[in-house]
Amino acid sequence: MRIEHRVTRWLVAIAACLVLIPLQSWGQESPSARGDRGDTIVVGGDHYHPPYEFLDEDGQPAGYNVELTRAIAEVMGIDVRIELATWGDMRERLENGEIDALQGMSYSDERAEQFDFAPSHAIVHQSIFARRGDPVVDVEGLRDKEVIVQRGDIMHDYLIEHDVGAKLITVDTHADALRALASGQHDYALVANLPALYLSRELGLTNLVPVAKPFSLRYGYAVKKGNSNLLAQFSEGLAILKNTGRHQAIYDKWLGPLEGTHGIPWKKVGQVGAAASAALLLILGGIVVWNRMLKRQVASRTEELRQHQQQLIQADKMTSLGILVSGVAHEINNPSSLLLLNLPVLRDAYADSREILEAHYRTHGDFTLGGLAYSRMREEIPLMLDEMLEGTQRIKRIVGDLKDFARQGSADLGETLDLNQVVITAVRLVDNSIRKATYRFETHYATDLPPLKGNAQRIEQVVINLVLNACQALDSTEQGIFLATRHDRVKRCVVLEIRDQGRGIDPESLTLLTDPFFTTRRECGGTGLGLSVSSGIVREHHGTLEFDSRLGEGTTVTLALPASAETTPSRPAPS
């Protein structure tokens, strides 16, 4: 019922927006509704709040909010200018009428007295961060503690309005808060969860952990109170983007799966999740058994006949698997997407009802919920939801690997690539895994590499798989991983070499590494698809992938790709 009310309120807001637009000529024109006169609408935001909004390496606005604002401007035919600075300054500029709107502000009843809000375009979770090993606390536990908050942020407002009793330390950005906490200053930081995790990784602040996530807040466009004309334009533009699917694409690009607006019963969630998992395991098991049977048949023949038959069997197997996996992946994706859309909503719905349940529990004592005592279910329900969401995300990842494995044809291979830049991007994406696996990660990027022709994203996928495999091969952080690029002028190719000092691979397994579903790490969740997909991508690019390994002596992987006819060498890369 709560979700239906939300949908109803959203539809009413959109209808109101559509009504307000033609009424502008009847009333006094708002000074901030400059878009109606063809002038530029100034939209503000935080200059260092990734991935929502930030200034990129070139000093240009980027992030989820920025891309969404530009999309709204495009569909509404209005001219916008995005200005990013410290959050406290931008909020003050909106209050003073120096800018027209803020593209991302968390909603509260107190703020609604001063600002008007469009329908939310994200849900932002606020977390209490502490140094690793420090005591876990909730909001009540912040009393008499030194708590770092961003100046003018929703948590700054909350702690002041509710007189929590904490000693507030204000800073300009989330990054400033995290750096101060990591360096041993003050006790806790109360900041947005996703930007804090993002910045902790980017800044290498490995001693910080979230110890509580007490708030989930609606997040959207805000204008000065009474500026309904401008708010109507942003609300209508956002509605158009949602209805066309463009909002979801932008959300997925920057923040991950879009949270849906329709709930399903608990029993239905469990049944769909169990059915999807069972179907996937059954298919994978059947394919593995079939693959083993084919190998035993081929091994019983003579060497010459074995070589010939293996080629025929492989071709037939790839065709059959492609058809089978594509169909299965499509069927599994439907219930998985439903779970990913609705589990976060159920979690928020339970969080919203928690206060009511707790009040009933305090007043009337224990009661039955779902057939069990509430005193037990109050702790179990959030854990159940989190485990179900994690399991569904794992299903989605496995299905994605299956779809990559079964994909027919190739993506656009006509891009001109710089292998150094592709490798640097891939390494940056798996930086956290590298830092957890080893203290010795060394790179050497050649400065004389010629360009390549291919698809940067698919080569990046290959490099990520190879680096992650090297990380998983290490037994201790003292063992190293060494990465280098070079130009082989004799073979006219560009080479990437990744060497690890891990446990190595036995000779029998070495010949099977690129076979579909072969893995030595099945007990750790490996599917055996990563190297098979990587091998297919390399073949698409007319390259080679070679493995050299001995047990106890580590592994060296050599990726070679043909150089383009263009002769311009790549730019020098950082070492």
**Domain limits, the chain:** 2-121+219-254, 123-217, 266-406, 415-562
The tens digit of pLDDT for each residue in 266-312 reads 445 456 666 777 788 788 878 888 878 777 776 766 666 655 555 54
DSSP assignment letter at 575: -
Amino acid identity, residue 552?
A: G
Read off the DSSP letter of residue 488.
E
**What is d(CA 263, CA 258) in angstroms, rounded to the nearest whole number?**
14
**pLDDT for 517:** 61
At the fourth CATH level, the homologous superfamily of domain 2-121+219-254 is Periplasmic binding protein-like II (3.40.190.10)
CATH top class, domain 415-562: alpha beta
First to last CA, the chain: 57
What does the angle CA 438 – CA 439 – CA 442 come to, to the nearest 5 degrees? 90
Q: Are 521 and 470 in contact (CB under 8 A)?
A: no
Domain 2-121+219-254 matches domain 123-217 at the CATH topology level: yes
- DSSP state letters, 148-187: EEETT-HHHHHHHHTT---EEEEESSHHHHHHHHHTT-SS
pLDDT the model gives residue 19:
39
What pLDDT sits at residue 345? 85
Beta pairing class for 493-500 and 555-562: antiparallel
Q: What is the DSSP letter of 477?
A: T
User: CA-CA distance, 192 to 122, in Å (whole number)?
Assistant: 12
Fold of 123-217: D-Maltodextrin-Binding Protein; domain 2 (3.40.190)
pTM, two decimals, is 0.41
- At 329, list the tokens: 């992946």
CA distances from 378 to 226, 277, 339, 370, 374 (A): 42, 27, 22, 11, 6
Counting as low any pLDDT under 70, the low residues of the chain are: 1-38, 257-274, 298, 300-327, 329-330, 397-398, 400-411, 515-530, 565-575
